[in-house]
Chains A and B, each alone.
Chain A
Amino acid sequence: MRLPKFEYLEPRSLKEASKALAADPVGTLLLAGGTDLIVNMKHGVIQPKRLINLKAIPKLAYISDRKDGLKIGALTTLHDLASSSLIQEKYPVISQASKEVAAYPHQVMGTLGGNLCQGNRCRFYNQSVFWRGTRSTCYKAGGEVCHVVPGRPAGGREPIECHSTYCGDMAPVLIAMDARIKVVGRVEERNLSLKRLYTQDGKKPLSLKKGEILKEVFVPSPSGKTLYLKWRLRDSLEFPIVSLAFLIERNGDGKTEKTKIIFSGVGSGPVEASEAEKMLKDASLDNLMIEKVSHQAVKEISPMRTSIASPAYKRKIAGILLKQALENFKS
């Protein structure tokens, strides 16, 4: 499968990359590890005129331990995260989640920034030109219809929505840990919480503005315990059918002070089950509470039929994963 033709740029700095990106925001795309981008280009669902190789920019791959937390350069590979002794010791869940992404070569090639910014997925979108040729082009690929929810309301005035699913492994874990990100634009840098990177819009899943590039991730020192549970078709390579990052902080009495429940694979971005989190505030984790909380969390997700797994199955698995996580902290 030949890649379509494109212009290839190797900038020397993020500022230069940002300028080039802003000059043609529609036709230009950023290349980091390429494990997602190149496949989508081969499938013809994205056809950039220009690619900017961020790996050509020096000093964007680093892991730096600070008093208040951890700074990770966006171009740090998942393999570097998985094998860093610092991360294994102080932030083991980050190391574990990195190892859950695809397989060994993908972890070597893939970067943290690329993983956080990976494209949403859908069974009607991540397919070859031949496969997609049997239907009209979907909304995400530039057409006028979403095949997940094909019926447009009468009158056709309501905007089409893209229901593609966010399937990243790193984002739920880092959101649960209250990570913040630094993005660089043509003129200035800005900081925002990682959660705010995601728009929950399948067509444009990231909130990055014109010319902005993710530069760094900051993870505060862990205050509780975080788990990452991933359910998939087989124990390697696959994206999650559903995955869950669960953070818990408890006080001296064993009651929960704070929890975070973040799912991947069930919405157009990482999904937080906020009401279930509220139920866990100051609660003791007994069987009844675990049952109630997982029942509540399942009501807060709206998975769509974007993979071979049905929404009902995803809901069921989401509840089971949360129960499994909570069982670890039973009173």
Chain B
Amino acid sequence: MKRILKLHVNGEEFEILTEVNKTLLEVLREDLGLTGTKRGCDLGACGACTVVIDGKPHLSCITLAAAVQGKKIMTIEGLAQEGKLHSLQKAFVEKGAIQCGFCTPGMILTAKAFLDEHPHPSEGEVKKAISGNLCRCTGYVKIVEAIISAAENV
């Protein structure tokens, strides 16, 4: 059954005619062309598909698009403002926290939501916060460094 969904993504309103059995991940990638949100495990276990909804991290692969109408959705494409990278994005580049880059959008958005809640976290708190985001390249050391550095520079 198709329905018109009204979604608020990265500060813009969209009306999308789509199936109600679609996940938010599918709508973002297929209907809106926002492919920065990655499909990893597709089962809510790897964190690659993380987006920020109303300020909090959500796994878009196990979120129904129909269920998040009226909420403010932010994907990685909405983080940089006026062509300038967000402090987290800058820190990830500067600290070399990106290798293949597949986990990066989810990792940065989880960190964004977390730092908004906890502006001065300890290393342990950062590790706990990103523990639902899997990275198979870096070993996490530089990612943790980047998040702490971004917190210090805000």
Query: Contact residues of A with B, CB < 8 Å?
Result: 1-8, 31, 34-35, 38-39, 42, 51, 53, 55-56, 79, 83, 102-106, 108-109, 235-237
- The reply to whether B21 and A1 contact each other, CB–CB distance below 8 Å, is no
A-B contacts, CB under 8 A, total: 88
- A5's contact among B21, B44, B59, by CB below 8 Å, is which? B21
- B19's contact among A5, A42, A102, A235, by CB below 8 Å, is which? A5
Inter-chain contacts of B59 with A (CB < 8 A): 35, 105-106, 109
Inter-chain contacts of B44 with A (CB < 8 A): 35, 38-39, 106
Chain A contact residues, majority secondary structure: mixed
CA distance A79 to B1 in the complex (A): 33
- The reply to whether B131 and A236 contact each other, CB–CB distance below 8 Å, is yes
CA distance A83 to B113 in the complex (A): 14
B104 within 8 Å of A (CB atoms): no
Inter-chain contacts of B132 with A (CB < 8 A): 102-106, 236-237
If the complex has contacts A8-B64, A105-B58, are A38 and B19 also in contact, measured as CB distance less than 8 A? no
Which residue of chain B is the closest to A7 with respect to CB atoms?
B1
Inter-chain contacts of A79 with B (CB < 8 A): 56
Which residue of chain B is the closest to A126 with respect to CB atoms?
B43
CA distance A2 to B42 in the complex (A): 10
Count of chain B residues near A, Cβ 8 A: 33
User: Given A5-B1, A6-B21, A106-B44, list of 19 further CB < 8 A pairs?
Assistant: A3-B21, A8-B1, A31-B64, A34-B63, A35-B44, A38-B23, A39-B62, A42-B42, A53-B67, A56-B67, A79-B56, A102-B132, A103-B133, A104-B113, A104-B128, A104-B131, A104-B132, A105-B58, A109-B62
Inter-chain contacts of B21 with A (CB < 8 A): 2-6, 8
Inter-chain contacts of A236 with B (CB < 8 A): 128, 131-132
Inter-chain contacts of B129 with A (CB < 8 A): 104
B47 within 8 Å of A (CB atoms): yes
CA distance A6 to B1 in the complex (A): 8
Inter-chain contacts of B133 with A (CB < 8 A): 103
CA distance A5 to B22 in the complex (A): 9
CA distance A201 to B129 in the complex (A): 35
If the complex has contacts A38-B62, A39-B44, A103-B47, are A108 and B67 also in contact, measured as CB distance less than 8 A? no
B20 within 8 Å of A (CB atoms): yes
CA distance A280 to B43 in the complex (A): 43
- The reply to whether A235 and B131 contact each other, CB–CB distance below 8 Å, is yes
Return the 3 tightest CB-CB contacts between A and B, nearest first: A103-B132, A236-B131, A38-B62
Tell me how far the C-beta of B122 lies from the nearest C-beta in chain A, rounded to whole angstroms. 15
Tell me how far the C-beta of A10 lies from the nearest C-beta in chain B, rounded to whole angstroms. 8
- The reply to whether A8 and B42 contact each other, CB–CB distance below 8 Å, is no
Tell me how far the C-beta of B104 lies from the nearest C-beta in chain A, rounded to whole angstroms. 16
Which residue of chain A is the closest to B109 with respect to CB atoms?
A105
- The reply to whether B131 and A8 contact each other, CB–CB distance below 8 Å, is no
CA distance A69 to B99 in the complex (A): 50
Inter-chain contacts of B43 with A (CB < 8 A): 1, 39, 42
Which residue of chain B is the closest to A34 with respect to CB atoms?
B62
B89 within 8 Å of A (CB atoms): no
- The reply to whether A8 and B62 contact each other, CB–CB distance below 8 Å, is no
CA distance A108 to B58 in the complex (A): 7
Contact with A along B47-67 (1 / 0, CB 8 A): 100100000111100111011
Which residue of chain B is the closest to A108 with respect to CB atoms?
B56
Which residue of chain A is the closest to B118 with respect to CB atoms?
A83
Within 8 A of A (CB), among B43-96: 43-45, 47, 50, 56-59, 62-64, 66-67
B102 within 8 Å of A (CB atoms): no
